[in-house]
Structure 1
Amino acid sequence: MKKFHILPIIVAVGITAACNQPKSTHQSANATKVDVKNNNVEIAYTDTGTGDTTLLFVHGWAINKGYFTDQVKHFAGRYRVVTMDMPGFGKSGKNRDKWNTKTYATDVNALIDQLKLKNVVLAGHSMAGDIVLQAAINQPDKVIAIIGIDNFKGIGWVLTEKDRKEVADAVAEMSKHYTSFATMYFNDYLFSKTTSRAIKDRILYDVAHTDSVIATKAMAEGNGENHEVENLRKYNKKLYLINSDYQPTDTTTIIAKKIPYKLMNIHGAGHFPMVEAPEDFNKAMDVILKEI
């Protein structure tokens, strides 16, 4: 299969897209609810714990809310903890035709409004970094902070015409050979040398068993212009990051763009630190929450 040189750069920026393996058994142990809708699309979620502050976890491309089970267990004794399946993935609805950042942000906002969440800390993994950033811009009175999870690694990077063509070619390849393309992508760019076989199998199973048409559209619609610097300035608060160091975070550009930030690096994990190194991830998040 053709290799696409643009893919590692897309991963580093955080516009992350993403095999037939043994069935995944890692769904969230908390009861899933589906009484929230956004424009008639059901949003599946879990709601655990109580507190004046809510931690709302938003998953990345082609996975689901079950990837935050360890975080629910760790934080629910002190916070209200909510996880959600983004429409098109997990147990949420698929009855719409837009899969872009702005539309997904309204799903997050709908959940915040309908559950009457207060003092919300949004934690978004992978492609959900841009989603929670937009959601925070939409509701500055309700969102007190955002935490990016292995994203915002190359803010300000601009697609060249050559890059655009390669992204288009990658999407075309994915639409024809979804499973083999996704497997290559994850194995080559998103797993670290220490990512366990069990975690790889889990992720590749979930990716292979998502709706390939929606997944491809989400990748295509998410790979437009990079507005992260502009949106971070609109957000106008500190950017908190918990990033794995298998790919470096370009802090030089963050500083040059005068974006306030705090970076917590997770060593020895790939693109999924919340499941690859949950104890280290939770400790990093504890540090951030104490500062917030």
Structure 2
Amino acid sequence: MSSYATPPRTTGRLKRPFGTLYYEVTGSGPALLFAHGLGGNHLSWWQQVAHFAPHYTCVTFAHRGFAPSDAIADGPDPADYADDLAALIDHLKFSDVRLVGQSMGGWTMLEYTLAHPDKVKALVLSSTSGTLDRRGSDPSGGKNYDAWLKDADAKIADGMAKGIHPAVGASAAKRWPALHLLYRSIDEMAGTLDKVKLREGLRRTATRTLADLKTFRVPTFLIAGGEDTVFPAFLASAIAANLPCGEAEIISDSGHSPYFEQAATFNALVDAFLARQR
């Protein structure tokens, strides 16, 4: 009879100027770090850690202001996220890293990569363009983005009236009510964090243009959900086409959280992408 040994796992708190940053390290092998979105925390990646830990050292953390990291009186500024990640990577003494960022986590991962391109072996941006200006990245000059936004806002309003979280969406909530419940529960762990204010901070700091990335040679994989009402899926392909080492994949039957809703498909795509960078 074969035996199964669970991957090694440790937890920690890194002292930062705002307080402490909570993190977890699971598995062994090359370093693979995950940054969650506005509706999540370190627990958001439960399906990825279980999958990747046998072959990678998986690191998850809660962004500053998100429990169980320390709260911040006036709320976090996303401009500080990349420095927190840099401090965590230095603390864990990783010589190189592979990064996965979901939605808000794209701000963290893209900015870190731009500041430390020689340390990043691969970058995955899930349902996000990070600090790139969305409308400015639209090849139609904003026409397609504006049309998408009008339709998306209407769908979000309709869903929220029915108790559906926008980061999951109506289709996924109907197909996987247990996942929808879990997502909402993780989201609520943020407590009194003012997410409206934080969302404004994300918009304020998303000012980069594709011209800023014309010499960006870190292999980058953009994944998006075809049913997403938070991030326009068509931008993933448009941005990838403008990157020197960009790829994109649209998961047609997923909303804003493909890593959560379609974990098996998401994990397989990321697995294959990482394998191509070895």
- The Cα offsets for residues 130-185 of structure 1, whole Å up to 9 and x where unpaired, read as 2200011222232222101122298651499xx9xx9xxx9xxxxxxxxx999459
Q: With structure 2 as the length reference, what TM-score do the two structures score?
A: 0.76
The AA in structure 2 aligned to 1:49 is: G
2:34 equivalent to 1:54: no
- The aligned counterpart of 2:275 is 290
- Select 2:234's aligned residue among 235, 249, 271: 249
Tell me, in whole angstroms, the C-alpha distance in 2 between the residues paired with 1:82 and 1:106: 16
The AA in structure 1 aligned to 2:267 is: N
Q: Name the stretch that deviates more: 227-236 or 42-51.
A: 227-236
2:67 equivalent to 1:77: no
Tell me, in whole angstroms, the C-alpha distance in 2 between the residues paired with 1:281 and 1:256: 20
- The aligned counterpart of 1:43 is 21
Query: 1:30: how far off?
Result: 8.3
- The aligned counterpart of 2:213 is 232
Tell me, in whole angstroms, the C-alpha distance in 2 between the residues paired with 1:94 and 1:233: 37
2:203 equivalent to 1:218: no
Q: Which has the higher contact order (CA 8 A, sep 6+)?
A: 1
- Where structure 1 has 5 or more consecutive residues not aligned to the other structure, the ranges are 1-28, 171-179
- Specify whether residues 94 and 235 from structure 1 end up closer, same or farther in structure 2 by C-alpha distance, changes over 3 A only: farther
Tell me, in whole angstroms, the C-alpha distance in 2 between the residues paired with 1:62 and 1:266: 20
Instruction: Within 5 Å, give how 1:255-270 maps onto structure 2.
Output: 257-270=242-255
Tell me, in whole angstroms, the C-alpha distance in 2 between the residues paired with 1:221 and 1:273: 24
- The aligned counterpart of 1:152 is 129
- The Cα offsets for residues 242-262 of structure 1, whole Å up to 9 and x where unpaired, read as 222214323564366455311
- Select 2:41's aligned residue among 64, 86, 95: 64
2:186 equivalent to 1:200: no
Q: Does the 8 Å CA contact 2:237/2:249 hold for their aligned counterparts?
A: no
Instruction: Within 5 Å, give how 1:82-231 maps onto structure 2.
Output: 82-95=59-72, 97=74, 99-152=76-129, 156-158=134-136, 183=160, 187=165, 190-195=168-173, 196-224=176-204, 225-231=206-212
Q: Does the 8 Å CA contact 1:241/1:263 hold for their aligned counterparts?
A: yes
Give secondary structure in 1 for the equivalent of 2:81: helix
Tell me, in whole angstroms, the C-alpha distance in 1 between the residues paired with 2:50 and 2:209: 31
- Specify whether residues 186 and 221 from structure 1 end up closer, same or farther in structure 2 by C-alpha distance, changes over 3 A only: farther
Tell me, in whole angstroms, the C-alpha distance in 2 between the residues paired with 1:229 and 1:95: 32
- The Cα offsets for residues 99-141 of structure 1, whole Å up to 9 and x where unpaired, read as 3332011111111011112320110001111220001122223
Query: 1:288: how far off?
Result: 0.5
Q: Name the stretch that deviates more: 78-87 or 33-42.
A: 33-42
- Select 1:279's aligned residue among 264, 267, 271: 264
Q: Does the 8 Å CA contact 2:28/2:54 hold for their aligned counterparts?
A: yes
- Specify whether residues 39 and 275 from structure 1 end up closer, same or farther in structure 2 by C-alpha distance, changes over 3 A only: same
Tell me, in whole angstroms, the C-alpha distance in 1 between the residues paired with 2:164 and 2:244: 30
Query: 1:271: how far off?
Result: 1.3
The AA in structure 2 aligned to 1:288 is: F
- Specify whether residues 258 and 56 from structure 1 end up closer, same or farther in structure 2 by C-alpha distance, changes over 3 A only: closer
Tell me, in whole angstroms, the C-alpha distance in 2 between the residues paired with 1:189 and 1:115: 31
Tell me how large the CA RMSD over aligned residues is: 3.3
Q: With structure 1 as the length reference, what TM-score do the two structures score?
A: 0.72
- Specify whether residues 97 and 109 from structure 1 end up closer, same or farther in structure 2 by C-alpha distance, changes over 3 A only: farther
Query: 1:234: how far off?
Result: 6.1
Query: 1:31: how far off?
Result: 5.9
- Specify whether residues 192 and 94 from structure 1 end up closer, same or farther in structure 2 by C-alpha distance, changes over 3 A only: same
Tell me, in whole angstroms, the C-alpha distance in 2 between the residues paired with 1:97 and 1:289: 38
Number of residues paired by the alignment? Answer: 247
Tell me, in whole angstroms, the C-alpha distance in 2 between the residues paired with 1:99 and 1:222: 10
Give secondary structure in 1 for the equivalent of 2:121: strand
